[in-house]
Amino acid sequence: MREYRKENRIKIREYYRKYYKENKHIVPSLKERYKKSDSWNPKVITSTHYVGRQFELLALRLFPTSKDMNKENPFGGHDIQYKGKNIEVKMRNKNKVGRWGFTFKGCDADLALLFCVENKIIRRIILIPYLGQQTISVNNTSHKSFEITYLKEKLSKQ
């Protein structure tokens, strides 16, 4: 059975490789589609990029002298730069277990700014050093020493 699956997998993979090589003009690459769609633009609402972009813009307002790195390269390893530090901005809704799970892929940031959202309300804002981990799990009591309360107060005044 395993041998049969291996042979089939190889045949299917070769079929799709051949198809994509022959039809490059029909099937653009993911990078080309992303550039054409302009989904990193905050004025264009497309999929989940819009929500993440809104929180990046919020972070830019919270740190007034910060620089938006997504304008130069939307595929870069960090979102904003503030006082020489690269910051990755992440937003997550609370899951069924009662935690916020943040995933990082291709990230070269020094710090991670985490927005923990529950029912469209920002419950926690956490700024932690990014040490190369792939996932960070946050619950109601963890990372208390990294929580930024003055940013929540600043948001409530705006």
Residue-wise pLDDT tens digits, 5-49: 677 888 888 887 887 777 765 655 555 555 554 444 444 444 556
pLDDT of residue 156: 62
Confidence of residue 157 (pLDDT cuts 50, 70, 90): low
Is the pTM above the cut of 0.75? Answer: no
CATH classification (class only), 56-157 = alpha beta
Kindly provide the b/e burial profile for residues 48-63, where b requires at least 16 CB atoms within 10 angstroms of the residue's own CB: ebeebbebbbbbbebb
Q: For residue 4, how many C-alpha atoms fall within 13 Å in the half-sphere facing its CB? A: 1
Mean pLDDT of 38-63: 67
At 92, list the tokens.
């997550």
The amino acid sitting at 119 is N
pLDDT of residue 42: 44
Q: What is the pLDDT of residues 74-119, one digit of tens each?
A: 777 888 999 999 999 999 988 888 899 998 888 888 999 999 888 8
